[in-house]
Amino acid sequence: MNARTLTAASLATALAAVLPAHAADPQLLALVMPDAVVVSGANVQQAETSQFGQFVLQQIQANDTGLQKLIAATGFDPTKDVSETLAASNGTAQTGLVLARGTFDAAKFAAAATLQNAVLETYDGATIIEDPNKKFGLAFPTSSIAVAGDLADVKAALDRMNAPASLPAALTVQINTWSGTEDAWAISTVPLSTFHHGDAKGRAAAPPSAATVPGLNGQGVFQAIQSAAGGVTFGTNDVITAQATADNAQDAQSMADALKLLASLAQLQASKEPAAAQLAQSLQVTTNGTSLNLSASIPEATLEQLIHPDNTAARKPVRR
């Protein structure tokens, strides 16, 4: 285990991966950068009531060696000690922010990180645990709030503890809407193509893995998406809902037609990809002016198979 295991990168991965929503915590939202363009969240407490949430928790516990080392070194277990997560980025940083509500022992984190060459810095009355290169940070401004991410964003979030920021009204409305109805949700207020090319404000390009995704690769009909939001509600049947906005009604219809074609092609591969075919069969796609709306309802086991096709048969209930 190295110092970064106990700082932003590892904790961000562990916290953000734990699924599921009631409306987002206002105190966490007040720490988000006011120019955020991407925001996502999840209510971890509800995970134990969802079969899919239990599946995700099992995958984390079984497969994340970094998480196991984190638990061993600090006694902290994000699958038990976190109640809500919120992630945000303004598109200019490499990692942005991951915020969490839960129970945290800052002293144990600091002690374990110091043994792994982490750097400690006192800022605004809080101790920031930083990687040796001072690029990533983890801080606990209170015993119930954790802030992780690239160092500049962590410090800015600590500043906002005493001077809370306000997000744009339109984004706040979206956050309240999606977080109040979905177990896990994400919102982007900028074109998806932004994350491939970067833009005039210097926003970073998408990672290489995004280069093959239509709309993120600068090619295809989905590059017409100007903003988007989506979420998942878990139950016996998991309901996936998404909305996207195009520049004009013609582009919205073109995207709808493309999705319907892809769904038809997926159903033709039912013998090879039954889970994908079942999702495609349930997909409902509509347009309303410049808005594209889609929804799908599939059995929880089918979603598990789509996410992790090799391990679904071995899922066991997670005891928390």
- Write down the mean pLDDT value for the chain: 79
Q: What is the C-alpha to C-alpha distance for residues 208 and 220, in angstroms, rounded to an integer? A: 17
Total of domains in the chain: 2
| Residues 295 and 226 both lie in one domain | yes
Asked whether residue 101 is domain-assigned, the answer is yes
- In this structure, the answer to whether residues 195 and 156 fall within a common structural domain is no
Contact 18, 59 (CB under 8 A): no
Residue 222: pLDDT over 80:
yes
Q: Report residue 296 as tokens.
A: 């799908």
pLDDT tens-digit series, residues 262-316? 999 989 988 888 888 888 999 999 999 999 999 999 888 887 777 766 654 444 4
Within-domain flag for 24: yes
Residue 175 is assigned to a structural domain of this protein = no
- Residue at 258 is within a domain: yes
Give the pLDDT confidence score for residue 261 in this predicted structure: 94
Q: Is the pLDDT score of 21 beyond 50? A: no
Q: Is 171 a member of any domain?
A: no
- pTM of the entire predicted model: 0.78
Domain span including residue 297: 190-314
> Which of 86, 148, 88, 82 lies closest to 113, judged by CA?
148
Cβ neighbours of residue 250 closer than 8 Å, sequence gap 6 or more: none
Shared domain check, 136 and 14: yes
Would you say residue 183 lies in a domain?
no
285 inside domain: yes
* Residue 281, domain member (yes or no): yes
Element containing residue 49 per DSSP (H, E) = none
Q: What is the CB neighbour count within 10 angstroms for residue 268?
A: 11
Tens of pLDDT along 80-107? 788 888 999 998 756 689 999 999 988 8
Q: Is the pLDDT of residue 129 over 80?
A: yes
Tell me, what's the pLDDT at 221? 83
Find residue 154's DSSP bridge partners. none
